[in-house]
Amino acid sequence: MLGLLALTLPTFAQEKEGGTETTTTEKQKKDKPKKEKKSKKKKTSIDLTNVLVIGQLDNSEDRYSLEINLTQMFTSAGVKTIPSLNILKLGGDAIILASDSMKQILASQGIDTYVIVSVRGYDRRFKVSAKQQNFSEALEAASLFDLYRQDIVSISFEFKFFRGGEFVHGDIIKCGNISDRETVLKRFRSKVTKKIGKKWTSK
């Protein structure tokens, strides 16, 4: 009888130890911290209330078209807007806009924000430039592309916003399914109007 008990007790102990291991494992699983849910991206807005529009294109006709279209769209959205064409003489150097005297004149007219718009390229995806320049440096950048070129199907525009001479926001707007200069402007107006309402103003 004693021999039978001796054989039985170790087995019981092993079962008890095994049960303890299972309980500990289950407890560890319960104690694991729950993964935090990814927060939704917040709506970004640069709260535009005023802006000086600067078209950075070599072709004067292209520059005029962009600035006039942007002025109309911003104004319709309740943003006080002045095109640089109203400030600079035809063929004038845009770097003048970065001078202290010009900033004071524009400030007296209620303008403290500037946007430079240029053509970034054709037929591919682009990202906002990783290296951000100040306002003076951005004004001196070369313009490499026209508003339209034959055999392209998409065009990307880059927008750079500045306050106090420093970069505050950038955006790329891609317009696809284009066939001529008129469709470029049509897609441009459609895309930019949406962007103004959703991202560039607080409305």
Domain ranges (residues) in the chain: 50-200
pLDDT tens, residue order, the chain (203 aa): 444 444 444 444 444 444 444 555 555 555 555 555 544 544 556 899 999 999 999 899 999 999 999 999 999 999 999 999 999 876 678 999 999 999 999 999 999 999 999 999 998 888 887 678 899 999 998 888 999 999 999 999 999 999 999 999 999 999 999 999 999 999 999 999 999 998 999 76
CATH match of 50-200 with 2.60.40: no
Question: Secondary structure of the chain in the HEC alphabet?
Answer: CHHHHHHHHHHHHHHHHHHHHHHHHHHHHHHCCCCCCCCCCCCCCCCCCEEEEEECCCCHHHHHHHHHHHHHHHHHCCCEEEEHHHCCCCCCCHHHHHCHHHHHHHHHCCCCEEEEEEEEEECCCCCCCCCCCCHHHHHCCCCCCCCCCCCCCEEEEEEEEEECCEEEEEEEEEEECCCCHHHHHHHHHHHHHHHHHHHHCCC
